Structure 1
Amino acid sequence: MIVLGLTGSIGMGKSTVAGMFGDLGVPVHSADEAVHALYAGAAAPLVEAAFPGTVSGGVVDRAALSKAVLNDSAALARLETIVHPLVRAAETRFLDAARASGACLAVLDIPLLYETGGEARCDAVAVVSAPAEIQRARVLARPGMTPDRFSAILAKQVPDEEKRRRADIVIDTGTSLETTRAAVERIVGSFAKDPGRYRRRIAPKA
């Protein structure tokens, strides 16, 4: 089974593209969705112990947690030591299930894939990308988003240009949804026709 990492900077359309892979029957694991589930489950008591007052009704209050770690690199690192192993465990269970189902391709939707070294767990990486002006318009249209916050988020992400340079596949999301969907269909077809083409980063699981 080929493991395809899917990533892209904020506002580039990664979640939309992940949905397109899913629509084609490709198993997709979303790191963001895994975190949401963990914040309402296994991670909640651990987060509360580390950051008292950030859990309400057994669910992590993301706004309160954000305040607790904002501009505090040590606090953020502490949070990551709690959450990252749990997300990796969920990812491993997903991949095991995908292999057991006979899937020839599985997608790991990881927002900060390059920032966290996640490409080492993938056979290939697809980066979603759009022109900067389209990205900016999409992000600033989100509720509560400001130019300063947008700039702060970008500063923590690997630049789009570098992501595209490092990627095996670049998916253009600055065009119509139909055109992007057709590109995803071609990618899935290419993996089906030549599965060994991208199997070079990680050894097949025994």
Structure 2
Amino acid sequence: MRIIGLTGGIASGKTSAAHLFEKLGAAVVDADQLAREVVQPGEEALAQIVASFGDKVLNPDGTLNRATLGEIVFADPSARRILEGITHPAIRKRAEEKLQRLREAGTGTAFYVAPLLFEAGITSRVHEVWVVYLDQETQLARLMARDGLSREAALSRIASQMPMEEKKKLGRIVIDNRGSRDELEAQVLKLWREEIADRTKG
């Protein structure tokens, strides 16, 4: 099974691109979705997070309060490392299970969508990397609009990841998402035809 790593920066449009590929019939395993699954109540990772950061990171109903945890880890690199040490192995295990199920089902190509593909050193999990790219000003504007963040807060989140310009150099294929949704759709469709559908036929 060919596994394509789909990555980019925060608010670069990875999820939008992944949804478009999914609509065309691609199998998609999304690390962000897995990250939400592994911290559900009853999951081992959530228990470890509470043990490390205290009850203040929980909502009254026992679910994880992402905003509170986000404030802690974005402000403190060592706290972020502790969190990643808990969640990354749990996400990896879940990803491997899902990819194995796709393999067993005879899936030809699967996308593994991960924002921190390079940062977390997990490129070995995929056969090639496609990067959803946009310039920093566009990224900043979209992130502020999407998450209601101040310029300051948005910049600090962008700064916690590898710069987009570097990621762009590391991708075998770069999907330029500086334009409209229609332009993104056109690129995805072209890539689907040239990179996936044609290869399947061949």
TM-score per shorter chain, which class?
Answer: 0.7 to 0.9
CA distance in 2, matches of 1:154, 1:67: 14
Q: Does the alignment pair 1:48 with 2:50?
A: yes
Aligned positions of 1:1-206 closer than 5 A: 1-41=1-41, 42=43, 43-53=45-55, 54-56=57-59, 57-189=61-193, 190-194=195-199
Contact 1:44 1:58 in 2 (8 A): no
Contact 1:104 1:192 in 2 (8 A): no
| Gapped regions of structure 1 (runs ≥ 5) | 196-206
- Structure 2 SS opposite 1:21: helix
Read off the aligned partner of 1:191 and give its amino acid letter: I
Read off the aligned partner of 1:81 and give its amino acid letter: G
CA distance in 2, matches of 1:167, 1:4: 11
CA distance in 2, matches of 1:68, 1:159: 22
CA distance in 2, matches of 1:174, 1:194: 28
- Structure 1 SS opposite 2:38: helix
Name the CA shift for 1:33/1:10 in 2 (closer, same or farther; >3 Å).
Answer: same
Q: Name which of structure 1's ranges 174-183 and 9-18 shifts more when overlaid on structure 2.
A: 174-183
Read off the aligned partner of 1:193 and give its amino acid letter: D
- Structure 2 SS opposite 1:59: coil
Name the CA shift for 1:17/1:60 in 2 (closer, same or farther; >3 Å).
Answer: same
Count of residues in correspondence between the two structures: 195
CA distance in 2, matches of 1:175, 1:135: 11
Contact 2:140 2:155 in 1 (8 A): no
- Structure 2 SS opposite 1:45: helix
Identity in percent:
33
TM-score normalised by structure 2 residue count: 0.88
CA distance in 2, matches of 1:91, 1:138: 28
Read off the aligned partner of 2:26 and give its amino acid letter: V
Read off the aligned partner of 2:58 and give its amino acid letter: V
CA distance in 2, matches of 1:121, 1:110: 11
- Deviation string, structure 1 residues 5-27 (Cα, Å, up to 9, x no partner): 11111221111101111111111
Contact 2:6 2:131 in 1 (8 A): yes
TM-score normalised by structure 1 residue count: 0.86
CA distance in 2, matches of 1:153, 1:65: 14
- Deviation string, structure 1 residues 142-175 (Cα, Å, up to 9, x no partner): 3431111122122221111111111100011122
Contact 2:74 2:157 in 1 (8 A): no
- Structure in which a larger fraction of residues adopt helix: 2
| Gapped regions of structure 2 (runs ≥ 5) | none
CA offset at residue 91 of structure 1? 0.4
